[in-house]
Amino acid sequence: MMISPHNDKAQHTHISSFWSSPSLNLGLILVIPSVVLLVLVSTLVPHPSTFSPLSSPWKWRYGGHRYSSIFNGSSTDSPFMEAETDKLAPNMSFSDALIDKDVDNVTSTTRVVKRSSKLEMVEAYMARARSSIKEAARVRNLTSIHQDPDYVPHGPIYRNANAFHRSYLEMEKLFKIYVYQEGEPPMFHNGPCKSIYSSEGRFIHEVEKGKFYTTQDPDEALVYFLPFSVAMLVRYLYESESLKTDAIGRIVIDYIHVISGKYPYWNRSLGADHFMLSCHDWSIRVLCNANTSEGFIPAKDASFPEINLLKGEADIGGLPPSRRSILAFFAGHLHGYIRYLLLNEWKDKNDPDVQVYDQLPKGVSYMSKLKNSRFCLCPSGYEVASPRIVEAIYAECVPVLISDGYVAPFSDVLNWKSFSVQITVKDIPNMKRILMGISQR
């Protein structure tokens, strides 16, 4: 999926110049929030899974339900490629469809019938949208052919710019999130915004205050957000001395019991259209730690970027590649065997091109090193994910992923080989030769 040292040299030639493009930052700023929402609807909904509240709160399994007839996508293809039968009039909007169907049901005496009718219309509209996306995927242009006053995706950063743009336009028309209001801060409706788990707090904050993709009508929603923060649950409930997570599990079970007893939506889909977000490696469904060796399933789960915002704001930008004096840089503690191998191989070589530290010398700025490096090394630690990937992107430094089993964020939409390098663990000793072989042009 990403560049390996054995790929053709032609694949390497565009990387450095791509990062120096002034349009890159705009593209990333626009694409990351939109892809988060897009991935939620395209990867969470199509593949159902069942939560079993009577067993471990962290165990999920596949199970069939009424969505399977419409959302059962392929695990090997992009979720945007599968078409279904067109069941709506070409110019009918989603809201109009719901209203029109409700008119047909005015003689119904139960809310269940109306709710079922709305669900059927959601399924029909999703079928129409997927058919439209499949048609768009046949166009392999690097620039979308769809008109959009806000942003037109273009360039090799996308696997298929036209299909992604069509998906985004369909999402704008249809995608709605319902946020359950049950639960109280600090463990619910709250999360860290200035730490290595910033992604949790930022997402919860954005989705809670959002106006474009949230709805107050749960019958109108496509997906349902469970607004608890695993980082906050760990902070208040995790027993570090005994390593027990029982209290966290009980909170999750109780919450599922509450919403499944009060609303029909969890039971209707067996939880397949519900999602949570976590950057802990204990997380489920939308994960920063997207490790295939630990049960991450690319066809079902969504990989989410890990961000460390110590000051709450991102420091974006850096020197052009021609003015960067460092070939590759890393500074970090000895967490996990991959970092051990990296530090053992490069830490004490005193190579001015490849600078690897377990701790930076006093007075040396970490950010200035990033901004002065052509390649930023992103080795896995105890977890496969690393906030250094996003740090590298912010510093306009090519991220070098050194990992086993890591699925990069939004890899079903983004073409990571166009703006990153992947080095296998066994090639750590050959890292300098590999990176020097990549052209700056």
* pTM, to two decimals: 0.60
pLDDT number for residue 48: 37
Query: What is the average pLDDT across 149-172?
Result: 90
On whether both 290 and 412 belong to a single domain, the answer is no
* Radius of gyration of the CA atoms of the chain, in A: 23
- Stretch among 113-122, 286-295, 306-315, 379-388 having the lowest mean pLDDT: 286-295
pLDDT tens digits for range 394-407:
999 999 999 877 77
Using CA atoms, how far residue 429 sits from 344, 349, 354, in Å, is: 10, 12, 11
Asked whether the bond before 409 is cis by omega within 30 degrees of 0, the reply is no
> Which residues is 277 bridged to in the sheet?
286
Q: Which long-range contacts (CB under 8 A, 24 or more apart) does 346-354 make?
A: 346/428, 346/431, 351/432, 352/325, 352/326, 353/326, 353/327, 353/328, 353/432, 353/436, 354/327, 354/328, 354/329, 354/431, 354/432, 354/435
Q: What are phi and psi of 422, to 5 degrees?
A: -115, 130
Residue 281 lies in a domain: yes
Please check whether residue 100 is in contact with residue 123, taking contact to mean a CB–CB distance below 8 angstroms: no
User: What is the residue range of 330's domain?
Assistant: 9-20+311-436
CB atoms within 10 A of CB 384: 26
pLDDT exceeds 50 at position 53:
no
- Stretch among 96-100, 150-154, 160-164, 211-215 having the lowest mean pLDDT: 96-100
Residue type, 219: D
End-of-domain residue from the set 303, 332, 364: 303
pLDDT number for residue 306: 66
End-of-domain residue from the set 269, 303, 337: 303
The DSSP code for 43 is I
- Stretch among 21-35, 63-77, 140-154, 390-404 having the lowest mean pLDDT: 63-77
pLDDT exceeds 70 at position 359:
yes
On whether both 13 and 68 belong to a single domain, the answer is no
Please check whether residue 27 is in contact with residue 142, taking contact to mean a CB–CB distance below 8 angstroms: no
Residue 27 lies in a domain: no
On whether both 195 and 278 belong to a single domain, the answer is yes
On whether both 291 and 317 belong to a single domain, the answer is no
Residue 1 lies in a domain: no
If one compares 132 and 299, the residue with the highest pLDDT of the two is: 132
Q: Could you tell me which of 383, 382, 422, 380 has the C-alpha nearest to residue 399?
A: 422
pLDDT tens digits for range 81-130:
333 333 334 444 444 444 444 444 444 445 555 566 777 887 888 899 98
77-93 exposure pattern, b = at least 16 Cβ within 10 A, e = fewer: ebbbbbebeebbeeeee
If one compares 27 and 236, the residue with the highest pLDDT of the two is: 236
pLDDT number for residue 311: 65
On whether both 167 and 222 belong to a single domain, the answer is yes
Please check whether residue 47 is in contact with residue 300, taking contact to mean a CB–CB distance below 8 angstroms: yes
pLDDT number for residue 116: 61
On whether both 296 and 317 belong to a single domain, the answer is no
End-of-domain residue from the set 303, 336, 352: 303
On whether both 228 and 94 belong to a single domain, the answer is yes
pLDDT range class, residue 71, cuts 50, 70, 90? very low
If one compares 77 and 217, the residue with the highest pLDDT of the two is: 217
pLDDT range class, residue 435, cuts 50, 70, 90? very high
Q: Could you tell me which of 285, 307, 274 has the C-alpha nearest to residue 392?
A: 307
On whether both 183 and 61 belong to a single domain, the answer is yes
pLDDT number for residue 125: 85
On whether both 192 and 160 belong to a single domain, the answer is yes
pLDDT exceeds 90 at position 330:
yes
Q: What are phi and psi of 285, to 5 degrees?
A: 80, -60
Residue 3 lies in a domain: no
Q: Rounded to an integer, what distance in angstroms lies between the CA atom of residue 284 and that of residue 60?
A: 8
Q: Could you tell me which of 137, 117, 116 has the C-alpha nearest to residue 74?
A: 137
Residue 266 lies in a domain: yes
Residues 6 or more apart whose Cβ sits within 8 Å of residue 436: 327, 353
On whether both 403 and 291 belong to a single domain, the answer is no
Residue 293 lies in a domain: yes
Q: Could you tell me which of 39, 119, 118, 97 has the C-alpha nearest to residue 73?
A: 39
Average confidence score pLDDT of the chain? 73
On whether both 160 and 261 belong to a single domain, the answer is yes
SS3 label, residue 337: helix
Residue type, 389: I
On whether both 295 and 396 belong to a single domain, the answer is no
Residue 13 lies in a domain: yes
pLDDT exceeds 50 at position 134:
yes
pLDDT tens digits for range 136-153:
988 887 888 888 888 889
Q: Rounded to an integer, what distance in angstroms lies between the CA atom of residue 259 and that of residue 257?
A: 6
pLDDT number for residue 118: 73
Please check whether residue 67 is in contact with residue 48, taking contact to mean a CB–CB distance below 8 angstroms: yes
pLDDT number for residue 405: 74
Looking at the structure of the chain, the number of domains it has is 2
pLDDT exceeds 80 at position 224:
yes
SS3 label, residue 263: coil
Residue 47 lies in a domain: yes
What's the CATH code of the domain at 425?
3.40.50
Q: What pairing do the DSSP bridges indicate for beta strands 60-62 and 49-51? A: antiparallel
pLDDT tens digits for range 233-285:
888 888 777 777 788 889 989 999 999 999 999 998 888 889 888 775 554 44
Rounded percentage of the chain residues whose pLDDT exceeds 70: 65
